[in-house]
Amino acid sequence: MSKKVHNFSAGPAILPAEVIKEAAQGALDFNNIGMSILEISHRSKDFIDVMEEARSLVKELMGFGSEYQVLFLGGGASMQFAMVPANLLVTGGTAAYVNTGVWASKAIKEAKGIGNINVIASSEDKKFSYVPKGYTIPTDANYLHITSNNTIYGTQQHQFDKSPIPVVCDMSSDIFSRRMDFSKFDLIYAGAQKNMGAAGATMVVVKESILGKTGRKMFSMLDYQVHIKGESMYNTPPVFSIYVSLLTLKWLKKNGGLAWIEKINDEKAKLMYDEIDRNSLFTGTCAKEDRSKMNACFLLKKPELEETFNKMWKDAGVSGIKGHRDVGGYRASMYNALTIDSVKALVDTMKEFEKKYADSKVTA
């Protein structure tokens, strides 16, 4: 039997074991029809049922009514960097963006290729180590774009003020991780591969009333209204990824929904950050009030001990905590399916490391 691996990968990320097991069965024989989910028609009743249930569960878990439409598309969240302004930025108008890291920066870059962009707040001055607050939202902008969680820098927006203009939010790395008033958002998009399923599908939830106002001719594949009319099947959708998303959403609902997973995520984050703050050999990288409950970034105070620590956490079965090159150090991604036992395994390793090497002045 293989050794237990504690998967802290930033994405594609850990999935619930029962979801992987059921998805594997579906890849062999879906619904006992003698065919794989990978080979059936996306127009068949079997897959249409998958799509309809997945879209329905998104609405149920987030509390959305009929004024919102749910789409499952391809192209990743990066495709949404272009689709959002293409669908919402009025010709001659302006969109407001908040820059909190790499992904927000990329969204800004793509939007500038379509129209006028006003970056109304940014944390770039301190290497994206905090989330901007207290900025003024221009009432004449077509929409405000924000990123709720920043995987690379380990920051997360915890409060969302009411906006006088439509709000677009990239929730790729913290979707379905906590309760909130989702009605504050007019469009939410998220890649599936963090909290929602396997890489390949992107979920979009959009208030239909904000669409069709740009005055520009749209490419069909970039037009939300075309995809809404086609019920997410204007073209062949990423079938297997959507199926895994459905299984993950069912797992979430079965266990108690967002209230259930929020409690677990809070416990994991507290355990992790308490150790980072307590341990004399480590330090956090961002403002404490803006720390992400999904991605804890931290540095080793004694870089000469890096190889020693790396060996210890690998020997403990920990995987995927190497930090992003823009930040360095370590990043523990604690998405929904990661158990608190895995966080304890990493924390215990950090404690053992301190006990052995806190007073060390040379590489062990």
The residue with tokens 């607050």 is: 133
CA–CA gap between residue 29 and residue 36 (Å, rounded): 5
Q: Which is catalytic among the residues 194, 251, 268, 313?
A: 194
Angle at 264 between CA 260 and CA 270, to 5 degrees: 145
Q: Give the pairing of strands 68-73 and 202-207.
A: antiparallel
The structure tokens listed for 134 are: 């207290």
Catalytic residue among 29, 45, 46, 103: 103
For 338, what's the count of Cα atoms within 13 Å in the CB-facing half-sphere?
34
For 118, list phi and psi in degrees, rounded to 5: -115, 110
* Beta carbons of 331 and 10 less than 8 angstroms apart: yes
Rounded-to-integer distance, Cα 101 and Cα 217, Å: 31
Residue pair 252/239 in contact (Cβ under 8 Å)? The answer is: no
C-alpha–C-alpha distance, residues 321 and 327, integer Å: 12
Catalytic residue among 46, 59, 133, 170: 170
Compute CA distances 137 → 144, 167, 315, whole Å: 8, 10, 49
3-state SS, residue 11: coil
Active site residue 260: no
Q: Report how far residue 131's alpha carbon sits from residue 122's, in angstroms, rounded to the nearest whole number.
A: 8
- First and final CA of the chain: distance in angstroms? 32
The β-bridge partners of 170 are 147, 189
Active site residue 194: yes
Quick check: 261 and 177 in contact, CB under 8 A?
Answer: yes
For residue 73, give the 3-state DSSP assignment: strand
Q: Mind giving me the DSSP string for 94-141?
A: EEEEEE-SHHHHHHHHHHHTTSEEEEEEE-GGGTT-S---SPPPPTTS
**Annotation marks residue 103 as catalytic:** yes
Catalytic center residues: 103, 170, 194
